[in-house]
Structure 1
């Protein structure tokens, strides 16, 4: 297709377009005389009259190979054309193969010019920065598609080696099915989020169902949104009742397991949906025995049978015993784990393998029994390494290399390491010490009288119902009793000695940041008001009734070093999912009623990367249930010195005694020694059940260190900043530098806000964003800008999915070139038949071809780079640009034809390169899994077959690929400037 106005010969019936009003579409000349031309634009039903001397019109002429649409809807592929009485007649074949003629008067007036060739030759010129953004986006997409760490760069998480190792190892699999069993505090939720993020970013998964205990729904919601930018749909009983299509309408659904157990309709709908990944937290609560399975287990079993990917999370896989541990593995792969008896026999073999690895690590010789056990399992390659180690003439370097290779092979090929990952706090550095301070305070008479007044069981039941806390746990929160029953509701802070103690402590700590957590949002709000009125202390407040923006503001105010709040008061659930490790003083204004909640509180500060010892303060009222409960948590569970994985099971086993303790019916000095003894025994049993082989396979430091090093370098990615600066300019988003790493972004009325889809962003006030991982970790209110941030992904998509930016005319300021020198820059893209297949873009990175033709058709691209040329270009006014196109039309047509010939010659090598790139990723993994499958039945045949099928499909897809012109820039040299 081409366009011209050189002859300025207007004949009724000819088709022209208006350069000034492109949206009018194809116009038809109605009449003309020496002074004016009248055009009808049928698609808009409008008429325009133009002066013959200044008409901004371009004649539309289609060329061989173009596809035309007739006004009746059928299409024609142009093979030739002729002129009859000044009107064009196109000749060619229809889709049915009939050879017909189509006069230009019968062209569909709604024809849109989408391709760069058509748009350029009809004078549809885009801005130079739009063209540049398109080109940068294509280059970035090519680079990112082949990134081996794709999916790991975007999450707002610390670069914790064991977490990165697990996420990298599991996230790159097709339909992963694993049990994440790291000890408490090691970040299983983060690992699951990283795996989910990686699966979504790489296209391995599209939809996920996340099932967690009801008490953890909010924590998961915040973690997924804040850390991973994943907007999930939180679905509860009320939400499902209001919208029974909720499961089918959401890409990512987060719900409590109780919903699916208690509501058959909800479970049925969830079961019928096509999910790619199922995530289940607290999997040890899925009860199973050889004779009976719990309703929760049966529901998950049905879902797991239909959903390809499955992540089970538990900090205590051994807590439910060996049978429960087996049941979790059977959910992952019932064919691999058909019976408990076979599993128990296999475990014995793993232990002997683990003992051999331990000896190898300690450079100790294997005894005869261990050597025999290995010989029965090892293949030829591994046996050769074993023999080499026993050769007395081996050098030290050879021994070290052989020893490590043998250990690696044993870890890779044996045990449950493919399906189960477990790291221990003892082997992970970076956790702080904990120091407990327990100031005992006299209980005020107001509280003592209240506690005495609730001696009758019926009043206790009523109170528990009103406060949604069962008796006697409600006695741990006397301020709630007072607020409910006293005349001056909410003013308990006037006499509560904990408030006096807190005011004094805040004065002692001066400029230190203090985090305070209490059980209820009402307590947090009232305490904040009391501190303001009594001592003029302004505290940030953070609770579950606040929306996410308000929580962000509160957390950001607390995080500010200079002008920030010294104290942040959190409710129980309001503290979940947040990282406050820049503080190291934690006030437990009360104690929660479950050991897991207490560990969750301490876990807000007791995190990997905490640089100070933790100072824990637990003020309590003496001679009240608070004193007894503190004794249980401290002396009984010893929970303040370190996490206690057995705490939940001890709580369950002694629940009746603990209720008696709070009600004064069981003596602490009689109960606590029994609890201590039970805890010690449970921890000894837990330690004895350690799976050494599993722990070794759960983290490979040499692999994780490479991941950390590469991800650390991302903070200095100049290409990302260059791209985003250009994108913000094109989409007219205000961008202000706050410091070297931080921007303030604010859309205006003229902004293209579509790039903020799925971005948690304040469109009216604006938001700040940073390239620094450390700043993003410290401040939840800052967006963490990476190539995987939704804003970046949306900008890449917007720059390449529309016609904007696919044409440009620019002026070249280079005195070495004569004025009027013509260059044409053309980008081609490898076009796949199934371009929307996400796995195709993962393993077939979108390749692009750049040509730079001079006026003679010579390709200068190898000598003149894109960035180097772009730096010398300045914009050209649209009117002048259109004149250039009209004057050089025939030459441009020839050069564009020439570019397509050159591109066609490059196609075979690009297809070959695509096959090499694809096979370089898939073939080694297929070969590795085939070797593993011979020794380790944990490798599923389905996984190997899926990869082989994927490789074959991608080969076929590539063989059908073609090259499509994506963008054209015409460059005119300005010549030497006169001074």
Structure 2
């Protein structure tokens, strides 16, 4: 391909973008501007899916002023074309390439038919079937939700749909540990990509989670991210690329990259991101007095991004000030003052009481203040009143949080604690929760009673998988070496400082054989030993035994430890083994956590606040053991009693306060079940399987049976199209969601899988099956009579982010005329006619076309006229439907903005612009001829 600035090209993959203009040409890349949608694309020059647009003499073309001419002469200069011709009034014009209208599409079926290019009838039928599937998918109310390789868990489906369907959402995901915040974020990104709301995505994560995110996004959501680290950015700069982050659409980075290499910040901030995701956002330290470099960087970057997803711990774990800091990132204009925010939050508790009254069936007439709150709400239905109040007064538009209380089927926790006596020749500091840190490894491993206890436990549980967590990396490393080298137990470790590859290998070694209990003794490690920081973000729910080799004062750290196993996907109860040394700080800490907080038997959302309240007496009680051989049990009982009372009171307050408001915003069981039912109905796994069998057969792809609903597909020798995701050695695929969740080695085929989408687009946007000649034999028609069957679809060139197919879908429309021009479209359905059609020898088919060309031309013109008469009502209906839906949402947001300041001005402005642009694009829509079949009755 040879490119010159100013030339006009069209994209095969995105024909809806219209005619593009070459704006930049580099050694390996070319930049194309598509004026219709005011967007640019960058392509590799050697493999760009583009075609050069060069019209021929006799073609009718238009310029950007909608003046049409018939081309009479073509000139070329320096690689650019100019067209000379006359308009309908006989006036002559010269159109240079840059003058050409960008609103173009190419109706080629008649050209192919009259140049004797005939496809098989089965190709024609597959094209028609494809058009119908595209039409159905365009109108789906759960578009963007079909392709996720996840369980359809109600709370995740609800949150993903609620957030992703909104324009440029800027939200905080703060579900409790184990509820799948990463999955929710992935579902939102998948929705945004499928609906083209997000074309450029940046994900920032801690170093230890880079590869986990990379694998999860690809395996679960078919989103292929490029990892950018210092080596890659540096290499791109060395190649002369001035904007390295512009080289990929989906980028995954460790946040530390921009802290260690601050000069990269300017590049990433100006790169133009649709969506920014920040995982573990609670590590971004902020206070009114001091702002961390990480927070400052994210704050500056977030200001340049349309959508922002912050994944964080619960606010009860963080504290109010830290929670407020996350909200500042979402909307600094709305959340600008901590004191004002706290004052606003204090009002939510009273509102929550009113909501509970309404849920219990109370009348708004029973309370004067409640009546004043709902005075202007035009409904008496309590459920609708509750929804309206949440819209007006909650922070639910920016903050989403589900708790275990709202999600069913979590496993039970069982505590198995063991008090151990320290030997006399092991003189530990009893005030130190981590006494092993005072000794060389050969001493503590031999003397510490927890080590021998652990060895006995592992031997008793063998070959069951066991996760061991301790606070320090050195403890994990030394314990791992001891078990492997001296105790003969297969063990592996996970700690800070390991490379991503080392972490992945360790995790894979531990997981090996986890699907089959009978293989445990021969496959993989029985034990994984993690340090506190090293285990963060990694989940091992295939195991159900957890050993807390030591404890931490911060209850949230213990909750995070338990959350490695106690989370969505865990199918067994959790057995928590806790060894502690008697008459030591370990015993004090165990009883405080267990008797005071009941932390080992239930999830605790307020650990941070509880620890803040009791840290001083807790630490004091532990410190006393530095000079004493026994615990002050009276003081310990009093401490645990006070803690228990405080915990219960605080838990009750949290349930009565703003928690309930957020939970009502974050989850609606009825709506979630309705969404799941829609997803299951739209998935149509059996229909997809049968359709793809036909597609693979006709595109020349080899299909081999693997097992129920599962196949191996391989490239054939005569493939008609190259599929991007098809590997040379083949792909193992399944159409079963349940099997895809069990078998990571299989790809989950859905209507939104990239390969399925690619096949749909290849067939619909290419010449595949758009002509055919057939013969039928029926007494219902005159012998020797001819029929011409034409299929059209609505061509709507528009910004895909407007999702105008919701109002004006492609609408495959059929016209069937006989040789006398009679319309049989309704009398003879496609479903009746298509099975009757048989192929003709090509020589016979060509003879029929040559003999009837003039008649076919005339019938095609009549067919076009019939379809054109149907277009205006369709466009009018689409415009009315769009105005009704978007107008209602616009009015709703305008009204709510008066009472709920989390509704941003740009959301309202976007809707206003969307209505105006949508009208313009719908008015430009036209019918596009998709396929022609000539049928002779024999």
CA positional deviation for 1:913: 3.3
* Aligned mate of 1:606, from 548, 566, 570: 566
1:297 aligns with 2:295: yes
Task: Determine the C-alpha separation between the residues in 1 that align with 2:636 and 2:702.
Answer: 62
CA positional deviation for 1:347: 2.6
* Aligned mate of 2:894, from 924, 930, 935: 930
Task: Determine the C-alpha separation between the residues in 2 that align with 1:551 and 1:656.
Answer: 39
Give secondary structure in 2 for the equivalent of 1:828.
strand
Aligned to 2:154: 161
- Residue pair 2:204, 2:254 contacting (<8 A) in 1 also: yes
Q: Which runs of 5+ in 1 are unaligned?
A: 1-59, 81-90, 99-111, 386-401, 456-470, 486-494, 508-512
CA positional deviation for 1:678: 6.6
Deviations 1:604-656 (A, max 9, x none): 54334645423345689999999999889878875542334455788999799
Deviations 1:335-360 (A, max 9, x none): 33343333333333332221111122
Change (3 A) 1:601 1:796: farther
* Aligned mate of 1:248, from 246, 249, 260: 246
- Residue pair 1:544, 1:574 contacting (<8 A) in 2 also: no
Q: Identify which range, 346-355 or 616-625, moves more after superposition.
A: 616-625
Change (3 A) 1:359 1:505: same
- Residue pair 1:156, 1:227 contacting (<8 A) in 2 also: yes
Change (3 A) 1:848 1:605: same
1:232 aligns with 2:228: no
Task: Determine the C-alpha separation between the residues in 1 that align with 2:92 and 2:484.
Answer: 79
Give secondary structure in 1 for the equivalent of 2:575.
strand
Aligned to 1:426: 405
Give secondary structure in 1 for the equivalent of 2:706.
strand
CA positional deviation for 1:164: 1.7
Aligned to 1:719: 687
Give secondary structure in 1 for the equivalent of 2:688.
helix
* Aligned mate of 1:775, from 711, 728, 739: 739
From the CA coordinates, give the structure whose radius of gyration is larger.
1
Q: Which runs of 5+ in 2 are unaligned?
A: 1-55, 62-69, 97-104, 238-242
1:796 aligns with 2:760: yes
Aligned to 2:40: none
Task: Determine the C-alpha separation between the residues in 2 that align with 1:784 and 1:338.
Answer: 45
Task: Determine the C-alpha separation between the residues in 1 that align with 2:173 and 2:783.
Answer: 67
1:873 aligns with 2:837: yes
Aligned to 1:371: 368
Task: Determine the C-alpha separation between the residues in 1 that align with 2:132 and 2:166.
Answer: 26
1:741 aligns with 2:709: yes
CA positional deviation for 1:517: 6.3
CA positional deviation for 1:265: 1.6
* Structure 1 segment 274-285 matched on structure 2, within 5 A: 274-285=272-283
- Residue pair 2:57, 2:71 contacting (<8 A) in 1 also: no
CA positional deviation for 1:518: 7.2
- Residue pair 1:540, 1:554 contacting (<8 A) in 2 also: no
Deviations 1:928-972 (A, max 9, x none): 223322332332232122112101101011112222222222334
* Aligned mate of 2:216, from 223, 226, 233: 223
Task: Determine the C-alpha separation between the residues in 2 that align with 1:753 and 1:707.
Answer: 35
Aligned to 2:192: 199
Aligned to 1:415: 394
Change (3 A) 1:164 1:882: same
1:380 aligns with 2:376: yes
Give secondary structure in 1 for the equivalent of 2:898.
helix
Task: Determine the C-alpha separation between the residues in 1 that align with 2:697 and 2:478.
Answer: 47
Change (3 A) 1:683 1:134: farther
Aligned to 1:586: 545
Change (3 A) 1:970 1:346: same
* Aligned mate of 1:214, from 203, 207, 213: 207
- Residue pair 1:139, 1:848 contacting (<8 A) in 2 also: yes
Task: Determine the C-alpha separation between the residues in 2 that align with 1:639 and 1:522.
Answer: 27
Aligned to 1:887: 851
CA positional deviation for 1:173: 0.6
- Residue pair 2:377, 2:385 contacting (<8 A) in 1 also: no
Aligned to 1:643: 603
Task: Determine the C-alpha separation between the residues in 2 that align with 1:963 and 1:889.
Answer: 23
CA positional deviation for 1:905: 1.5
Q: Identify which range, 837-846 or 563-572, moves more after superposition.
A: 563-572
- Residue pair 1:114, 1:803 contacting (<8 A) in 2 also: no
Task: Determine the C-alpha separation between the residues in 1 that align with 2:546 and 2:398.
Answer: 40
Deviations 1:362-408 (A, max 9, x none): 2356798x522651x434335x73xxxxxxxxxxxxxxxx2223222
- Residue pair 2:480, 2:492 contacting (<8 A) in 1 also: no
Aligned to 1:361: 359
Aligned to 1:545: 501
Aligned to 2:305: 307
Give secondary structure in 1 for the equivalent of 2:246.
coil
Task: Determine the C-alpha separation between the residues in 2 that align with 1:849 and 1:701.
Answer: 39
Change (3 A) 1:810 1:599: farther
Change (3 A) 1:290 1:481: same
CA positional deviation for 1:201: 1.4
Change (3 A) 1:263 1:656: farther
Deviations 1:32-81 (A, max 9, x none): xxxxxxxxxxxxxxxxxxxxxxxxxxxx997889868747544467999x
* Structure 1 segment 119-158 matched on structure 2, within 5 A: 119-158=112-151
- Residue pair 1:735, 1:743 contacting (<8 A) in 2 also: yes
1:910 aligns with 2:874: yes
Give secondary structure in 2 for the equivalent of 1:211.
strand
Change (3 A) 1:64 1:705: closer
Change (3 A) 1:164 1:64: closer
* Aligned mate of 1:688, from 643, 653, 677: 653
Deviations 1:547-602 (A, max 9, x none): 99998999686436888988654675999888875x56335496798976765564
TM-score by length of 1: 0.72
Change (3 A) 1:147 1:114: closer
RMSD over aligned Cα atoms:
5.0
- Residue pair 1:558, 1:566 contacting (<8 A) in 2 also: no
CA positional deviation for 1:706: 0.9
Aligned to 2:100: none
Give secondary structure in 2 for the equivalent of 1:856.
coil
Aligned to 1:505: 461
* Structure 1 segment 365-514 matched on structure 2, within 5 A: 371-372=368-369, 374-375=371-372, 377-382=373-378, 385=380, 402-437=381-416, 501-506=457-462, 514=465
- Residue pair 1:827, 1:965 contacting (<8 A) in 2 also: yes
CA positional deviation for 1:278: 1.9
Task: Determine the C-alpha separation between the residues in 2 that align with 1:698 and 1:875.
Answer: 57
TM-score by length of 2: 0.75
Aligned to 2:31: none
Task: Determine the C-alpha separation between the residues in 1 that align with 2:493 and 2:706.
Answer: 24
- Residue pair 2:316, 2:609 contacting (<8 A) in 1 also: no
Change (3 A) 1:634 1:345: closer
Change (3 A) 1:189 1:539: closer
- Residue pair 2:701, 2:715 contacting (<8 A) in 1 also: yes
Give secondary structure in 1 for the equivalent of 2:245.
coil
